[in-house]
Structure formats: structure tokens, C-alpha cells
Chains A and B, each alone.
Chain A
Amino acid sequence: GAGVSQSPSNKVTEKGKDVELRCDPISGHTALYWYRQSLGQGLEFLIYFQGNSAPDKSGLPSDRFSAERTGGSVSTLTIQRTQQEDSAVYLCASSLVELAYEQYFGPGTRLTVT
């Protein structure tokens, strides 16, 4: 079946602009995660949605980052007033709640802030 999809695949934006990144999880997966991977760095957890519960925002790096998940499916990660240090690949993953451990990643969105 279809895997996790993300859009756009690439985004170039000017410093100070807002961006929205979209994630569509695997059908039937109720848990959704956002990570980012900076050049030469490991994957950094950002936020986690499980079903209709309030998200765990503990990993968001600043209040410029927010995320929502509508209807328990598609999620949008929004970065306001982007900074150059926000440049990274933003990865979304999903999992079955019952198998919350096994996460499957989408192809990512490469964000470049100029």
C-alpha cells in the first residue's frame, strides 16, 4: 500500500517568511511524528500525535514551530518567521498505535531558508 507522503519535497524560503509542511500518514496509522535532520546531525524529535489526544510538543525547538493534525489524519507543521538555522530536512513518520514502536518515514521535505 501507499506509504507516508510529504509535500512539498523541497521548499526554499526567505528568512522571516512562514512555511507550512504537510504530512499524509499511512492509511490506518493513528500515530504521527515529526522529526528534523540537519546536515551532519542526527534525527531530532519534534512533536507526536496519537489519535485524537493532545500532541506531545516537548521537542519543538521554539514557539515559532507549531503543528496540527486534522481529522486524525493529515498533519501540517508550520514554522513562523523562519531563520537560517531552520534549514533542514523535515521528516514525518507514522505508526499503528498498537505497534507504536515501529515508525515508517516519509520522503521528507528539504527546507532551505535564505
Chain B
Amino acid sequence: QVQLVQSGAEVKKPGASVTVSCKASGYTFTSYGISWVRQAPGQGLEWMGWISPHNGNTNYAQKVQGRVTITTDTSTSTAYMELRSLRYDDTAVYYCARGGLGWYFDVWGRGTLVTVSS
């Protein structure tokens, strides 16, 4: 079945970087975009960015532009989201989802909790 499997929880110090992975299976990885969405504790959903695994094109939300990089490895059908210069308010559950930029988000990973703490 179609699924996205994310890497495990992370605890990072302020100023550090974190990379979250998202492995796709059950469909042709290069046929759909992958978006990253985060949710701070008790808050709503915030779109962070998108990548086309087909050609590597990316689009980032203005709020995190310059601190986030989304990449893919088509040989393993895996997407990655790197967030740098972590701040306390980056503490959130980070989701990958299939879709974005013209396509609804029809498949979601289970989420990865990233905690920023000194």
C-alpha cells in the first residue's frame, strides 16, 4: 500500500540542525511531489516547503526560507528535510505528505517530533 515512513524523534540544542527523512513506498516516487508540514504543540498546520522528485524543483515558505532545504534520493525513494539554526519555537511534529503545488495532500507520514531544548 502507499505509505510514507518517517525517521524517529530528535532532540536538538538551539542553533543546531536537524534532518528528517521520509521513505515512500507503494507508488512511483517521481510522479508526485512531497511537501513538509509542521505542527507546534497545540497549534495548527504550517506548510514549510515542497519538492518535485522528478526534477528536484523546490518551493519554500517565506517563514523558513534560508533555513530549510528539502532534497530527495530517487534511488531510495526518500525525501529529506533539513532545518538549520534551530530555535525553541521550531519544536513541533514534522510531517511529510504526498502532494503540494497544485496537488492535494493525499498521503501523510506519521510525523516526527523535533524538540529544541538546551
Specify whether A and B are partners. Answer: no
